Amino acid sequence: MFIFMSGLLCFISRSRNSAPRFLLLRFACIIPGYVACLTVTSLLFIPVLAGFVRNGSDLTLAFNKRLIYASADYFLRNLAFTQNLYLPTDLKIDNPVQAINGSLWTLQPEIMGYLLIAILFPLFCMTPRLLVMLLGAGVSFLALNPQHPRIGLRAVLAGYGFETGTDSHLLLGVYLLSGIIYAIYSSRIDINPKIGFLFIVLLVASYYVDLRIFNIVSPVILPYSICVCWMIQWPWGPQVDYSYGVYLYSFPIQQILWNLRQTAFILNDFVEGLLFVSLSSLAFGVLSFHYIERPCRLSILSSMKVKA
């Protein structure tokens, strides 16, 4: 969903700005909140996740130099977008998933998408039909079982020498391309709320019936459904968007809840835990938007006078 919206909105933004100004605007949207999240993670989340030593049901904080160095290394490596999601092996956390913040891996493909739109924008405008053909090819690949050892996307790419290719990155690329195509043909697409909500039902049904069917239909009908939701006049208005902050902070908050689940002050019930994570992530998202993301973005806009 986020990658499709990036393709759609970034293409529209690129059509109004030069490549350097477009990139500056996009980085102003994601970098301040990202750096703030890394700071909070290094100073708060990592000490909570890796600094506690469990003795039965009791927790004691073992904050040492090794943990400080690991937190600093985590911050610097992710600041360089190297996708360093884990701590060193000697600092295991008491969770089934060892990643501190598994959401961060998508930011590297996001930035790659920004660069592609900035550089290839003239080509995209001249060859819209070719983009549709590429989308069809991508959907055809996704129709294959991505977990199959012989016909999966990773195996197909490896056969052509692309050993670093992954199914997830190809899926993100398809959604980015879908967003670009929707932006190009926006004047010809009639957004009907009834059709959009029908598509949502079909998406949910296809996901539970057969993942291959979902992979075929989702790059087409999911973007349409998103556009329907986007056009709804929400009471908080289009200038307020907490989704980026919620996305950044929800994963480490879930990790903390799981890590401390056996203590008396942490909720063990699933519904209560879900409510706790949702409200906590929303609180961080609100703070991130109002005190980090929007002020930095408005500062860049006012100094550069770029069009959003």
Q: How confident is the model at residue 287 (pLDDT cuts 50, 70, 90)?
A: very high
Determine the pLDDT at residue 58.
Answer: 46
Return d(Cα 56, Cα 259) in angstroms, integer: 14
Higher local confidence (pLDDT), 37 or 267: 37
pLDDT reported for residue 265: 55
pLDDT tens digits, 8-43: 888 888 998 899 989 988 888 899 999 999 999 988
Judge contact between 272 and 66, C-beta under 8 A: no
Q: Could you report the per-residue pLDDT of 197-215, keeping only the tens digit for each?
A: 888 888 888 878 776 677 6
- Burial of 265 (C-beta count, 10 Å sphere; 0-12/13-18/19+): exposed
CB atoms within 10 A of CB 118: 19
Between the alpha carbon of residue 176 and those of residues 24, 47, 109, 150, 304, the distances in Å are 19, 36, 10, 26, 27
pTM: 0.77
What span, in angstroms and rounded, lies between the C-alpha atoms of 104 and 111? 12
